[in-house]
Structure 1
Amino acid sequence: MAHRIAEDGKLEDVGKLQLFIHTLFARSEPTILRILDRMMESDLFRGRGRPILLFMRERLDFLPRGEVVSTQRAKDFLDALSNSGDSKIIVGPCVCQEALGRREGTLIKELTVLYGTEVYERAKGDEGGIRVISSAEAKGLLDRLREEGCIPTFYACLQSTGWMVVICNCDGKVCLPKRAHQLLGGVLSPGPDIISLSTDGCRGCNRCVERCSFGANRLVNGRVVFDPDRCYGCGLCVSTCPTKARRLVERRGRAKLYYPIAFVAKYGSRAAGDGERP
C-alpha cells in the first residue's frame, strides 16, 4: 500500500490520481533537469535573463523542494519507517548524475520511501537500476556518504511534509537543486538543527570551512567565525572537527517543513534528536 504522512504523524493511503501524476513527473524528471541545467549554465539566464529563472522558481512551486538534515536525523527517520508499517526503502542512481551525464562520487545513493517507492518502480521498471534495501543498509550508506561530503536532503512535493518521497544525498558539483539554490535561493531550506560552536575549543584548522557547502564558516586571523544565518544544519562540520568544538542543537523558532518530526516522534526507536551531539 502506498502511503503519505498525515499531520499527526500517522500514515494515510495515497490515491491513484496522485500516484499517476507523480509517476508522470518521475518519467519526465531527467528531461526537466537537462532543460533547467542548460538554462542555469547559459550566460543569458545567469545575466539579463536571471529574472526568468526567478519567475520559474516561484511558479513551479509544485516541484520537489528540499530540507537539509543531518545524517543522524535521516537515520532516525529510517528507524521510524521500520516501525511504521511501511518500511520499504528503494535505492537507485542519483537522478542528477544520470540525467546530466556527470559523476561525482557515489552514483547509487538516492533513497526513495513511502509512496515514492511505488512511483519509482512504475516509472523506472526493472531496468532503472533501483533495488530494495534494508534499513540497516540504508543507514550504512548514509554514513559512507557523510564521509564523502554528501548532504542528506528530504524532498517533498507540493511543499508539504506529508508528500515527502525521497532522501537525496546532494553533492556540491552535480546536484541541480543545490546549484539552483546557490544561484537563486529558495530551493533548499535549513533543517531542524543548527551548529553550536565552542570558540575556546576551535584551533582554526580550517576543516569546517572546507567542509561547509553553505559558507557558514570562514577563517579570520587564524580563528573560525561562524555565521548562524548561513548554517543549514547538515552537521558535516561536526564530523570533521578534530577538537569536538562543534555540536548540533535544535534550531529555535523554526517552522515545521518537510522533515516529519511528528512521524519520527511517533514511530522512532528513540526521541527524535541527533546522535552527533555530545
Structure 2
Amino acid sequence: MYRIVYSALYLVSLLPFRALYLLSDFAAFLLYAVIRYRRDVVLSNLKTAFPEKTDKELEAITREFYVNFTDNFIETIKLLSISEKALRKRLSVDTSVLKQVYAKGQKVEISLGHFFNWEIANMAFSLNNPFDQLVVYMPISNKIMERMFVHLRTRFGSKLIAASNFRREITPYLRKQHCLILVADQNAGAAEQAYWLPFFGKMASFVTGPEKNAKMNDAAVVMGCIKRVKRGYYSATLTLLTAEPKSMPNGAITKALASHIEQCIREQPANYLWSHRRWKTPFDAEKHGHLVLE
C-alpha cells in the first residue's frame, strides 16, 4: 500500500507549480467555504491575537491563511521530486551565524514557530548547514504517511528525532556537534510543568524542553523566522539569542523565543498555523501562578 500511495503522490509532485497551485486554490475554497475546517478555531485565535483589527481585516487574514495552509501541503508534495537546484531557489537564508557557532566547536539549537512553509525550510536548511541537522518532529499515527514523511524530510540530509522518544534518540549525538531544530510554540501538554507568559496579551503555556536542553548541552540558542516572499518562495532569518545559555536566568530563553515568535507573526499574520489551539489550556492563577515568567 505504501508504494501505491507514494507512487501516486510522486506523480502529482511532477506537475508544474502552476498546476499544483490550482489544486491548492480549490482545496482552500473547500476547506474555507464548504467544509469550514476549523474556521471557528482560526477566527477565535485571530480575534485573541489581534483585537484591534476589524471583522473585515480578520476575514481577509483568514482567507489568506487557508490559501497558505493548503499551499503548505501542496508544496510539501512537490518536495518528493524537487531537485536540489530548484529547492535552493525556493528559500533564501543566511546561515553565517551557524557557521560561526560551528567554527567555535559548539552545538546549536534553533527554535521557531509554525511558520509556512516549515517543510521547505527544513530541507533547504540542510543544504547549507555545517552541522548534523537534527529535527524534532511528532510521529504520524498512520504508518504509510509516517514512512513517507520520514523519507521526504530526510532527502537532503536531515535526521529526525521523535519528540515522543526524544531522550533515547538524541543520545547518539550528544557528544558530537549538532544543530537541533525545534518548533517552540506548542501548547504545553503538562500545564503544571510549563512556563506561562503573555502571548499576544493572553496567558499561554510554553514547553520548557528547548530551554532546558540548551542549558544541559551548552548549545548556542538561535531564533528562526520564516516569511513568505511570494507564492512558493520564502526567506528565513536566523538570529543568535545567546552563545552562553547557562548564564541566562531560568525562563529568560523561553520568554525571548515567545517574543520573537510573536513579532514574526505580527509581520505576516496569515503565514502562521492558526488552526491549532494555541490557548487550549486556560490559565489558572492558583495552579499556574508560580510558573509565570516575569
Give yes or no for TM over 0.5. no
TM-score under structure 1 normalisation?
A: 0.30
Query: Which is helix-richer, 1 or 2?
Result: 2
